[in-house]
Amino acid sequence: MMAQAWHSAIDALCCTRACTRMMFFLLDLLWMLIELSYSILSAVLQTFLRPRLKCIEGELCLITGAGGALGRLFALEFAKEGANLVLWDCNQAANEQTAELAREKGVKVYTHTVDLSRRQDIYEAAEKVRLDVGDVTILVNNAGVVAGRRLLECPDELLERTLLVNCHALFWMTKAFLPQMKAQNHGHIVTIASALGLFSTACVEDYCASKFGAVGFTESLAHDLHAENLNGIKTTLVCPYIVDTGMFEGCEIRKELRGLIPPLDPLYTVKQSMNAILAEQQMICIPRLMYIPLLTRALLPWEANVATYRFMGGDRCMMPFIKNMEIKAAKDQVKTS
């Protein structure tokens, strides 16, 4: 009798625990649906209403690739907002030119010549920034390169450099600066990726692979910060269409559609990115039209996406760019010989 009563008590306890677990599961499900509805509603409202932008005056912002077209514009926009700057680039002269322009905005600017393909260079420069300037609170991973060669004709060193600068450097930069952000639960990490990190095209395998990696890294990092309840550290992923900086000179889609999706103006791209950063938006595609191929890639069969790319000329859009790069490489070889 005692054994039977004991087993009955255990069964009742197990049933109670199962009911409790189910109740918590249903409550979590309800809360998830509420958050889902709220996030969708917020996104819709932000599409039509100007979101509140945060103040970054006095923050210390580090921008990689600051000597390039986008990097320079980012530096000037952050300077306008009152942020002090740390500018990194492998081209010292171009980086100093950006610094001079930014100083005209009345902010403090520090420059370092850094090769992002070298992990130790990143760590050494980061330590120097911490000792000489202070803790970086906004990190803009802007630097990017592309080999510009067909895969089987491209030297391994160029392929490796694309992956190192565009993707691997994100790991080293984050490991260098995130600990100080975590200590204060304050900071913002921005990744300038590409629409080619969301869907791919031919002839730029190195670039697509690196940007897919950048997208995956940034999304995983955002989940990691949420899991640790570090809500004071924000991330923003920027995925623009081809920007008219000369990086992909010659790239063009079908002639009849070029007016619909022209290369992006660099200043427009940076201003749209800045709005997203200051609004603490986690991801932005520029232009909004880029959300369509992102959705079709996920929803349509592979063959349907191929047919769409072929119609738009996306399957061969990089051919003129590759040809231009080959001509440039040949000219450079003649000059050095």
Strand, helix or coil for residue 225: helix
Angle at 294 between CA 256 and CA 189, to 5 degrees: 120
Sign of CA dihedral 108, 112, 114, 120: negative
Phi, psi dihedrals of residue 228, rounded to the nearest 5°? -90, 5
Q: Name 243's bridge partners.
A: 264
- DSSP notation for 135-178: ---EEEE-------S-GGGS-HHHHHHHHIIIIIHHHHHHHHHH
- How many other CB atoms are found less than 10 A from the CB of residue 278? 19
User: Residue 287 class from Cβ within 10 Å (0-12 exposed, 13-18 middle, 19+ buried)?
Assistant: middle
Read off the DSSP letter of residue 89.
E
The Cα 165–Cα 320 span in angstroms is: 24
Residue 257 CA: distances (Å) to CA of 124, 178, 261, 311:
47, 42, 7, 10
Please pick, among 110, 207, 241, 268, the residue that the annotation labels catalytic.
207
Question: Which amino acid, 215?
Answer: V
To the query of whether residue 268 is one of the catalytic residues in this protein, the response is no
H and E: helices and strands count for the chain? 11, 7
Strand, helix or coil for residue 284: strand
The Cα 282–Cα 273 span in angstroms is: 11
User: Residue 235 class from Cβ within 10 Å (0-12 exposed, 13-18 middle, 19+ buried)?
Assistant: buried
Residues belonging to the active site? 207
